[in-house]
Structure 1
């Protein structure tokens, strides 16, 4: 008999082999090899190996964050929690990379996990979009986010983001608040700083050049935003990140 659980986080489950059985709110779903299941574990649920199968092998990870509840609702996950992801997109590699970073617990693990988790969530959104299951509002925001991430160097304005989403500026603000829990420019600021964090540690580029690549032509503005969001200066973040790297034997 499966044990019912309730926690307070979101959970992704990747089925590696065999077949699982999930029950949430009286609805049952079969978990096939290669699928990803998204659970809001604050809702009572249970899962187990499907009774007619010999095993069910899976990876799972829990996470929390701003705007996840809204995205969960927008994707219709409560009614359809199972996502069929193409093997070419290699979700298993993303899961394993996140779990390695969590186990390592290094200074950089939070930043890397955030970036990898964003890729996983993007896969789920894309899967719903490909099957025509996204609301128009979510598709518009997804398009805006993909455009911005592909060109962080650009000095994006709210007006340009609104045009990309085919919305008025007021509608864009409202949709971002509803779906992401923040404003468009605050989301953009976090995207720029997260990209900079990665570049600071994996490259030897000058801080000013990294600032420009991430959309900050003024390095002082970059340093101010970076310290406000991260808690340390870009140079200090680079020093700490490099000192936390495992040394070659």
Structure 2
């Protein structure tokens, strides 16, 4: 089969054959993965092709996600009735399917990944990536090199422009996608698991719950871009010590970012502010007052408020509210608990007030958010 000549509708049939367990070749799967991931330096098509060939993983997904089985069955019926699907229908199908197949932890298997994603308008990759706290175990780092990314988080929405690098923790709540005003968004990225050495180089300005961002000058951008490029070039040459080599590239990038920060305003979090943060995280369900939190930090209420605003860009209570809503989104995503139970676990006795706060910060009501997640699984 000359998969290079297939139209998008042909790739739908190929994917349905793979999921159905029909025999397909490695070249078939690579052609499909290249169609989905893009054919450009730094894409992850080869890793994705191996992923598509993992029969046990696919069967596990089908068991865990009945909605996915229904999605596949509906397109199979459509093909049988119509003879084929249109290219527009095919792209819609791949966007919907990708929401189920975005299992980054399984994909990485605890390893470092370095790559680039090119999000073109109306392509299979043109989708919203949505994360709630705890949905992944590793950290992500994303450098915009062209176009613009549209990020939504609890504290604010922001647009990532060329030279902006964003650090996303496993505790982050966020959505991101190609900004509607650009035809294409290219961003280099790495997915990794930091040890104690790396964490000291990750004290970036916080722009949202578990989200950190800085802008690179022209020279640091050129250097860091070349480090990403070297990293994904190395990924194509399997070797015994590939993992520590890729982690070394990540370390180098983080150190270069620290150099950039050292020329800007000092952002290291004051230990007393850190103590207040830790106390609030450990007591999210309690109605601790600002005086109690300040006492833990060894500061007056006024001193804590000033320091907190300086280091975090928001008030103490606004920061706690963000963490509460982030944890609530995790509970809504990972449990079947009722909204009122979720509200109590994050410190709200009034479920209606909790729903108003959640809607204001997240953009959806708790029930809408849970329904949205179920539609994507």
Give the TM-score normalised by structure 1: 0.52
Shift, 1:216, TM fit: 0.6
Alignment partner for residue 165 of structure 2, among 10, 24, 45?
Answer: 10
Deviation readout 1:45-71 (Å, 9 max, x if unpaired): 14357xxxxx663459x9xxxxxxxxx
Shift, 1:76, TM fit: 8.2
Contact residue 15 and residue 59 of structure 1 kept, 8 A: no
In structure 1, C-alpha distance between the alignment counterparts of 2:259 and 2:163, rounded to whole Å: 19
Shift, 1:175, TM fit: 1.1
- In structure 1, the partner of 2:29 is none
- In structure 2, the partner of 1:31 is none
Shift, 1:167, TM fit: 1.1
Say if 2:297 is the partner of 1:165: yes
Contact residue 267 and residue 311 of structure 2 kept, 8 A: no
Shift, 1:215, TM fit: 0.8
Shift, 1:8, TM fit: 4.1
Tell me which stretches of 4 or more aligned residues in structure 1 moved more than 6 Å: 13-16
Distance 1:15 1:156, change over 3 A: closer
Extract unaligned runs of 5+ from structure 2. Answer: 1-144, 146-160, 168-188, 205-212, 228-233, 235-244
Say if 2:261 is the partner of 1:78: yes
Distance 1:10 1:220, change over 3 A: same
- In structure 2, the partner of 1:228 is 360
- Alignment length, in residue pairs? 156
- In structure 2, the partner of 1:191 is 323
- In structure 2, the partner of 1:212 is 344
In structure 1, C-alpha distance between the alignment counterparts of 2:260 and 2:278, rounded to whole Å: 22
Distance 1:11 1:219, change over 3 A: closer
Say if 2:376 is the partner of 1:244: yes
Q: Secondary structure of the residue that 2:261 maps to in structure 1?
A: coil
Higher radius of gyration, 1 or 2: 2
Contact residue 200 and residue 234 of structure 1 kept, 8 A: yes
In structure 2, C-alpha distance between the alignment counterparts of 1:244 and 1:15, rounded to whole Å: 22
Extract unaligned runs of 5+ from structure 1. Answer: 17-33, 50-54, 63-71, 81-132
Distance 1:229 1:41, change over 3 A: closer
In structure 1, C-alpha distance between the alignment counterparts of 2:311 and 2:317, rounded to whole Å: 14
Alignment partner for residue 42 of structure 1, among 209, 216, 240?
Answer: 216
Contact residue 348 and residue 354 of structure 2 kept, 8 A: yes
- In structure 2, the partner of 1:156 is 288
In structure 1, C-alpha distance between the alignment counterparts of 2:314 and 2:285, rounded to whole Å: 21
In structure 2, C-alpha distance between the alignment counterparts of 1:173 and 1:203, rounded to whole Å: 35
In structure 2, C-alpha distance between the alignment counterparts of 1:235 and 1:15, rounded to whole Å: 30
Distance 1:77 1:215, change over 3 A: farther
Alpha-carbon RMSD: 3.8
In structure 1, C-alpha distance between the alignment counterparts of 2:267 and 2:215, rounded to whole Å: 22
Deviation readout 1:152-188 (Å, 9 max, x if unpaired): 1111211111111111111111112111111111111
In structure 2, C-alpha distance between the alignment counterparts of 1:40 and 1:134, rounded to whole Å: 11
Distance 1:134 1:225, change over 3 A: closer
In structure 2, C-alpha distance between the alignment counterparts of 1:236 and 1:7, rounded to whole Å: 33
Q: Secondary structure of the residue that 2:270 maps to in structure 1?
A: helix
In structure 1, C-alpha distance between the alignment counterparts of 2:280 and 2:360, rounded to whole Å: 22
Distance 1:77 1:168, change over 3 A: farther
